[in-house]
Chains A and B, each alone.
Chain A
Amino acid sequence: MTESYPLRTFIAHAVLILGILIVAFPIYYTFVASTHSLQTILRPPLPLLPGDRFIENYSEALFGGVGRIGGVSVGTLLFNTTVMALGIAIGKICISILSAYAIVFFRFPLRMTFFWLIFVTLMLPVEVRILPTYKVMVDFGLIDTYAGLIVPIIASATATLLFRQFFLTIPGELVEAARVDGAGPFRFFKDILLPLSKTNIAALFVILFIYGWTQYLWPLLVTNRNDMNTIVIALRKMISFADADTEWHLVMVTCMLAIVPPILVVVLMQRWFVRGLVDTEK
C-alpha cells in the first residue's frame, strides 16, 4: 500500500515524527537537565544539549542520597516503589482471578450477592474510605510498612470483572471435557484457565503495575519515614518552595529514574502480550 504513494508515505511519516518529537521533548529536556549542575539549571536559559555531569548526578542520586529527603538514596526509593507496584499488581491479579473463578465456575449460596458486592466497590474509590482504612492501618501497626502500602489497595473489582467476562467466554464444553478428563477444580484452574488467561494477565499486569507505581494519595498517608517513601512522594518532598533550596539536578535524575521501570514493564510485557495473542485461541 505504502509503496505506490511516495508522497503520501512521506507526509504520513513526517506527521508521525512530529508527533513523537512533541511528545518526547519534555522527557528529553528533563534528561538534559539531569546532566547539568544545579547552577547551570538555575541560570537560564537551560542548554538544549546534555551536559557533562551525567555520571556525577546519577551516582549521587542513586548511591549518595538526597539531602531534602533525609539523605535517602533514589535506589531505596526505587526499591520501595517496585515492591509496592509489584505487590499491588501481582496481588490484584491473584485475588481477582480467584474471585472471578469462584463466581463463574462454582455454584454456591449467595453467589450473585457476592458478585454484586464486588461490583458495588467499583463505585467506592480509595479516597472515600481513606479515613477508616487509615485508622485500621494504624491499629494494625502497619504505618511505614510494605504491607501498609499494598494491602489496602490490593482488591480490584475492575480486574475481577475483566476476568469474569473472559471466563464467561470459555465454552461450557471445554469445562466439561476437563471434568471428563479427570481434572478437579484445582487442576482445571492451573492447567486450563491460567494458560488461557495469559494474555489477559499480561495486559492487566502492565496496567496495574503502572497504577501501583503512580499511587500518590495512599503512600503519602501511610508512610512517614523518608526511607519508606515511594518515588512519587519523595519527588514531591524534594521540591521546596524556594528554587534555590531545591536540588533540581537530583529532582531531574529522580524523574528520569522514575520513568524507567514502567517503561521496562511495558516493553517486556508487550512481548508476552503479542506471544499470548498469537498462541492462544479461545
Chain B
Amino acid sequence: MATVDLKDVKKIYAGGVEAVKGVSIAIPDKALCVLVGPSGCGKSTLLRMIAGLESISAGAVSIDGKVVNAIGPTERDIAMVFQNYALYPHMKVYDNMAYGLRNRGTPKDEIDKRVRETAKTLELSALLDRRPRELSGGQRQRVAMGRAIVRNPKVFLFDEPLSNLDAKLRGQMRVEIKNLQRALGVTSVYVTHDQLEAMTLADQLVVMNAGLVEQIGDPLDIYEKPASTFVASFIGAPPMNLLALTRDGAGRMPAGSPEEMAAIGHGSAAGSTALASAAPMLTDGSLVPFAPQAAAILGFRPEDADVTHGAEAPDGALAIPAAVEAVEPVGAESFLYCAAAGTRIIVRVHGRATARPDDQLRVVVRAEKLHWFDEAGKRV
C-alpha cells in the first residue's frame, strides 16, 4: 500500500547529540524492513522520525512518494507498536482498539465491525471487556498489535515490541507478526537489537551502528557477505571469528578480542597494522595463503570451521593451530572455544565434540569460506 523513503535523514537532538547521521533507505511496498543495531545506535530515533514523533533535522522522509517532514503523526497514517505497549490503562481492550478510529470520526458500526474482526484475528475476542492490567504480557502485546492493525494504516512501525516477553513467547509472537504482516501486506518498519529476531523477520535488513547504516540487504546476503567487521560480528550468533593479519615478518600484533577487531573496523587507531609486502600471517606467525592484497583482518563463521588433530593442512584450506579452552555441548551441536593467534576462536561442530579441553589441534576453514576485511574493517 505504501513505500517509505528516507533520504539522507539526520537527527541532532537539542543537546547537540547527533543520533542519526545521514541515513538513506528505500523500503519497497509491503516489505518488512528491520532496523537492527546495538543499543543507542539511533534506531528508535529513526523510527520516531518516520512516525512524526520526532522532528527531522535534515533530509527527507517520504511515505508513498510524498514528503511528510512537516506532517504530524496522525496525518501520516501510520500505526505504532511501542516497546511497553502504551495501552491506555483506564480503557477496556475494546476502547483501546477503537480509540484511534473514534478520533478519526469513523462511524460507530464500522468501528464495531473492525474492532471485532481484528480481535478475532488476534484471538482477543474473549478479552474485549478487560482492562490492560487484567491481561498477561503476551495479551497486552496482542492488544497493542490490534490497536495498530484495526486502523488499517499505510505503515506499521514497531519499536522492539517483543523485548518485554519471555523467550518462548517472543519466538511465538515473532512468527505471528511475520504471518500477520505478510497477510495484511502493510509496509512495516521494525526496530530490534536482537539479531536473531532481525534475521528471521526481515525482508529487508538494515544494520545500523552509531547513527549510520552499515549495510542494507536481504538477511541471508548480509549473513553471507557482511560489508564490515561490525556487521560480521553483530549478525550471527556466535559472532564471526575475526583474526588480525600482519605482513610484518617479525612483528607480532597484540592479542585482540573480536570486540577489539570490530573496533579496528571502526576507524579507531588502536591496533592498526603496518602493511608490508611479505605474505600475510597471523599474529602467532602462521602463514595465511589466499589473502587478498588489502586484507588486514580475516574472518570466518563458527559453522564454517572444523577441527583436525592431524598435522596436514587439507588442500585449499587454512589451518590455524589452536588450543581448546572449553567445550560447550548444546545437543545437536557443540561449541569449541579455542585460543588461537592471540585471540579466541569459536568453532561449531555437529553433534558431540571429540575434542577435549587442553587438546592441541588445528582449526580448518576452506578458502571460499574466508572473509577478508581491510584495515578500516570494510569487506575486501
A residues touching B (Cβ–Cβ < 8 Å)? 171, 173-174, 176-183, 187, 191-192, 195-196, 198, 279-282
Whether B89 contacts A176 by the Cβ 8 Å rule is: no
Known: A173-B83, A176-B82. A181 touches B90 (CB 8 A): no
Q: How many residues of B contact A (CB 8 A)?
A: 27
Name 21 A/B residue pairs within 8 A (Cβ), A-sorted. A171-B86, A173-B84, A173-B86, A174-B88, A177-B86, A177-B87, A180-B51, A180-B78, A180-B79, A181-B99, A181-B151, A182-B74, A182-B100, A182-B103, A183-B99, A192-B90, A196-B89, A198-B90, A279-B90, A279-B131, A281-B133
* B132 is an interface residue with CB less than 8 A from chain A: yes
Known: A179-B73, A179-B74. A173 touches B82 (CB 8 A): yes
From residue B145, how far is it (CB to closest CB) to chain A in Å?
13
From residue A115, how far is it (CB to closest CB) to chain B in Å?
18
Whether B90 contacts A183 by the Cβ 8 Å rule is: no
Q: Which residues of B contact A174 (CB under 8 A)?
A: 86, 88
* B251 is an interface residue with CB less than 8 A from chain A: no
Residue of B nearest to A191 (CB): B99
Residue of A nearest to B98 (CB): A181
Question: Is chain A's interface secondary structure helix, strand, loop, or mixed overall?
Answer: helix
Residue from the list A173, A181, A279, A281 in contact with B103, Cβ < 8 A: A181
Known: A173-B86, A195-B90. A180 touches B53 (CB 8 A): yes
Q: Which residues of B contact A191 (CB under 8 A)?
A: 88, 99
B residues touching A (Cβ–Cβ < 8 Å)? 48, 51, 53, 72-74, 78-80, 82-90, 99-100, 103-104, 131-133, 147, 151
Whether A176 contacts B53 by the Cβ 8 Å rule is: yes
Residue from the list B79, B84, B85, B89 in contact with A281, Cβ < 8 A: B89
Known: A171-B84, A177-B82. A182 touches B90 (CB 8 A): no
Q: How far is the CA of A19 from the CA of B241 in the complex (A)?
A: 76
Residue of A nearest to B48 (CB): A176
Q: How far is the CA of A94 from the CA of B74 in the complex (A)?
A: 28
Known: A171-B84, A173-B84. A280 touches B79 (CB 8 A): no
